[in-house]
Chain A
Amino acid sequence: MNYQVLLEEMLTATVMSLRIFFFTLIFALPLGMLVALGRMSRHPVIHLPVRFYILIMRGTPLMLQLLFMFYALKPLFGIQLERVMAAQVAFALNYAAYFAEIYRGGLESIPAGQLEAARVLGYTRSQTFFHIVLPQVVKRIIPPMGNEFITLVKDTSLAQVIGVVELLKVTSQWVSSAVDMTPLVIAGVFYLAMNGVVTRAFTAAENRLSYYR
């Protein structure tokens, strides 16, 4: 086994995994907030479709959603997404649903009295949201968000079902073509390294926000 070629290929594939990871976060983090606010809306016209969306995203396998995004859009809507894009969109839509429920938990944990205090003081609704509510929500959702980020790092491997060449895909190709377990160990180390960084970042964020209760 040519270890230099192996490592090069695995590193390239890792870049693909990271690309899916960051794309998903960039879109799913804000989208999740919109979904959460929609879910909490008092108007059924808004919250019913949003609840349906969350039900679909959490109630069906992510792998099915990936396959749907790549194979089903063409016959249904005449849209053909390129493999990586299809994977990224599927991940972002799926994770937004999970993030939304975490945001909702955080938003609902802010005591109503604080909102009333802000209102009597004359804060506008957006000032209240961005300066009073959001900073506290961020602190409260850090532990469950850490879970989601870690899961996402590992979930990127699902993208291989629609032919995206990411870390685990390359690994399994090497393992099946040569009777050598080394790539499995290396892949494990890579995933651990990525999640090590994620974990450290979350611990740091938690410490930074521990100045108040």
Chain B
Amino acid sequence: MSSEILKVEGIRKSFDGEEILRGISLNVREGEVLAVIGPSGSGKSTLLRCISQLETVDSGMISICGKVLVKNGPEGKAVYADRNTRREIGRHVGLVFQNFNLFPHHTVLRNIADAPVRVLRKSRREAEEAARALLEKMDLSEKADAYPCQLSGGQQQRVSIARALAMNPDILFFDEPTSALDPELTGEILKVMRGLAAEHMTMVVVTHEMKFAHDVADHVVFMDGGSVLEDGTPDELFSHTKNERTRAFLTRFNENS
């Protein structure tokens, strides 16, 4: 049995008195792909942002690679680990954004190799060699010296995946990685992600691509209104769901696509 990489228990998060996450629990084991689906505003992105430390939770427990990021204190409020532990946990995690968020003033190669140099203290040569290997893998070798503005959206997203991979994360999060792309470019990104899944990269993917969730994920979570309504294998969710709300969402989804 492979080890647990991500464990989330009962996390809650409110913005301005409105509860966005109402007690979410998840488990992701090494090499697993978890797809998180659900309507817009259901809290999927907030969940990822809490796990990757871009937001803080109000209560609940998150542990990554066996290290506790946050847990409930005696009063039931979230107590975070100290700064060094938080940083250490951050190193296990990679995040790919919907809008790529590449650094426009750096070349493609620098976008990928800069963080390993500055954060992991690798030598520039070593980092750039690794970056070139990643570009090769992303089928972008000839774009090493280009700037992000010279690339298509799909190419930019592949660079941002390479940038995340360059940090050697133990788990990679994707926040609607294809939502800013047209169908053709979407296919290009999904292909890369299928490749990563085949290499047993541990991933949590927030997505509206039901086919991808169905084909690639080991587990699918359906979220609505800040709660996990259903959690199961793709087959259980997509073909044999017992949950009314899940069925309604999937039906509407199939009608529209």
Contacts A113-B97, A120-B52, A211-B147 given; does A139 touch B119 at CB 8 Å: no
A–B complex contacts, Cβ < 8 Å, 17 sampled:
A113-B99, A114-B103, A116-B54, A117-B101, A119-B53, A119-B54, A120-B53, A122-B115, A122-B120, A122-B167, A127-B118, A131-B114, A135-B105, A136-B104, A136-B105, A212-B147, A213-B104
A135 contacts across to B, CB distance below 8 A: 105
Q: How far is the CA of A116 from the CA of B102 in the complex (A)?
A: 11
A121 contacts across to B, CB distance below 8 A: 115, 119, 163-164, 167
Residues of A within 8 A of B (CB): 111, 113-114, 116-123, 127, 131-132, 135-136, 139, 211-213
Q: Number of B residues contacting the other chain (C-beta, 8 Å)?
A: 28
B148 contacts across to A, CB distance below 8 A: 212
A117 contacts across to B, CB distance below 8 A: 95, 97, 101-103, 160
Question: Distance (Å) between the CB of B147 and the closest chain A CB?
Answer: 4
Could you say which of B29-37, B60-68, B85-93, B225-233 contacts chain A?
B85-93
Contacting pair A131 B118 (CB below 8 A): yes
B103 contacts across to A, CB distance below 8 A: 114, 117-118, 132
Contacting pair B101 A116 (CB below 8 A): yes
For residue B177, CB closer than 8 A to chain A, the reply is no
B99 contacts across to A, CB distance below 8 A: 111, 113
Instruction: Specify the chain B residue showing the minimal Cβ separation from A138.
Output: B105
Question: Distance (Å) between the CB of A124 and the closest chain B CB?
Answer: 8
Contacting pair B105 A120 (CB below 8 A): no
Instruction: Specify the chain B residue showing the minimal Cβ separation from A119.
Output: B54
For residue B94, CB closer than 8 A to chain A, the reply is yes
Contacting pair A120 B118 (CB below 8 A): no
Instruction: Specify the chain A residue showing the minimal Cβ separation from B93.
Output: A120
Q: Which single member of A118, A122, A211 contacts B87 (CB below 8 Å)?
A: A122
Q: How far is the CA of A166 from the CA of B99 in the complex (A)?
A: 53
Q: How far is the CA of A99 from the CA of B99 in the complex (A)?
A: 31
B91 contacts across to A, CB distance below 8 A: 122
Residues of B within 8 A of A (CB): 52-54, 87, 90-91, 93-95, 97, 99, 101-105, 114-115, 118-120, 147-149, 160, 163-164, 167
Instruction: Specify the chain A residue showing the minimal Cβ separation from B167.
Output: A121
Given contacts A113-B97, A113-B101, A213-B149, 18 further A-B contacts (CB under 8 A): A111-B99, A114-B101, A117-B101, A119-B53, A120-B52, A120-B94, A121-B164, A121-B167, A122-B87, A122-B90, A122-B119, A123-B119, A127-B118, A132-B103, A135-B105, A212-B105, A212-B147, A213-B147
A213 contacts across to B, CB distance below 8 A: 104, 147, 149
A118 contacts across to B, CB distance below 8 A: 103
Contacting pair A120 B95 (CB below 8 A): yes
Instruction: Specify the chain A residue showing the minimal Cβ separation from B163.
Output: A121
A123 contacts across to B, CB distance below 8 A: 115, 118-119
Q: How far is the CA of A118 from the CA of B163 in the complex (A)?
A: 11
A212 contacts across to B, CB distance below 8 A: 104-105, 147-149
B118 contacts across to A, CB distance below 8 A: 123, 127, 131
B147 contacts across to A, CB distance below 8 A: 211-213
Q: Which single member of B97, B114, B163 contacts A116 (CB below 8 Å)?
A: B97
B149 contacts across to A, CB distance below 8 A: 212-213
Q: How far is the CA of A116 from the CA of B90 in the complex (A)?
A: 12
B94 contacts across to A, CB distance below 8 A: 120
Q: How far is the CA of A114 from the CA of B156 in the complex (A)?
A: 14
Q: How far is the CA of A131 from the CA of B117 in the complex (A)?
A: 12
Q: How far is the CA of A136 from the CA of B149 in the complex (A)?
A: 14
Q: How far is the CA of A136 from the CA of B147 in the complex (A)?
A: 14
Instruction: Specify the chain A residue showing the minimal Cβ separation from B173.
Output: A120
Interface centre among A114, A117, A123, A135 (most CB of B within 10 A): A117
Interface centre among B52, B94, B119, B149 (most CB of A within 10 A): B119
Instruction: Specify the chain B residue showing the minimal Cβ separation from A209.
Output: B105
The 9 closest A-B pairs by CB, nearest first: A117-B101, A122-B119, A113-B101, A121-B115, A213-B149, A212-B147, A120-B95, A135-B105, A212-B104
Question: Distance (Å) between the CB of A126 and the closest chain B CB?
Answer: 11
Q: How far is the CA of A197 from the CA of B171 in the complex (A)?
A: 54
Question: Distance (Å) between the CB of B87 and the closest chain A CB?
Answer: 7
Q: How far is the CA of A117 from the CA of B93 in the complex (A)?
A: 12
Instruction: Specify the chain A residue showing the minimal Cβ separation from B94.
Output: A120
